[in-house]
Chain A
Amino acid sequence: QLQLQESGPGLVKPSETLSLKCTVSGDSIRSRSYYWGWIRQAPGKGLEWIGTIYYSGTTYYNPSLQSRVTISVDTSRNQFSLTLNSVTAADTAVFYCARQMGTDLGAVISPPNWFDTWGQGTLVTVSS
């Protein structure tokens, strides 16, 4: 059974860097048909896609965050990570990691599709 678990500091100071990891269990992060994504939800607000990575390292980023975001993958640990630079109070949110489906087109995999499995989420507060 696939499980995703976010981990990282719950409190980050303004202007510093937010770093989170997502540990995948029950499946290999190198599975051909899947991508791995980050989504956040500010308190009382909706869902915001942050970015997505394939095990090969191919990434997709939200243009609104692209200048501050890096997503990386560690296949040896079955983990992928998120860093968000220069945080402000507006970055306070629950951060979710999730598996994002791809479609096997034979020779290639499709771009990312829907999110089928989510982690429990972790609240990160930006405050001094």
Chain B
Amino acid sequence: DIQMTQSPSSLSASVGDRVTITCRASQGISIYLAWYQQKPGKVPKLLIYGASTLQSGVPSRFSGSGSGTDFTLTISSLQPEDVATYYCQKYNNAPFTFGPGTKVEIK
């Protein structure tokens, strides 16, 4: 099975900073990748699918890129409400594995 890794596992940044999270698949998955945001104590929320397509209603400061094995989620200007753990998920085929998560905090 394809393994998903994320880096860093956690980060602390200032409000207004540009934040980049990386997700890597152990084998190529084309663009079959989604990103989710899970705020503390809350339900995961879909941010991006198809590696770069923004889900309706998601702020435009979020963007995704990549294909094959390497993907990035970028927050162009970090806001206090972006404090959360971010997960990638592959869906090229089953198992639909999630990455281990990246915890984003405000410095």
Contact = CB atoms under 8 A, between A and B. Distances in A.
Interface string B49-83: 10000010000000000000000000000000000
Contact of A114 (B89, B94, B100): B89
Contact of A116 (B32, B55, B96, B100): B55
A111 B93 contact: yes
A119 interface: yes
A106 interface: no
A113 B32 contact: yes
A48 interface: yes
A26 interface: no
B87 A114 contact: no
A112 B98 CA distance: 14
Contact of B46 (A37, A116, A121): A116
Interface in A47-85: 47-49, 52, 60-64
A38 B1 CA distance: 19
Nearest to A119: B43
Contact of B95 (A46, A62, A115, A120): A62
B30 interface: no
A96 B91 contact: no
Interface of A: 37, 39, 46-49, 52, 60-64, 96, 100-101, 111-116, 118-121
Interface of B: 1, 32, 34, 36, 38, 43-46, 49, 55, 85, 87, 89, 91, 93-101
Q: Which 7 A-B pairs have the closest CB atoms?
A: A114-B34, A47-B98, A114-B49, A60-B94, A49-B96, A46-B101, A118-B43
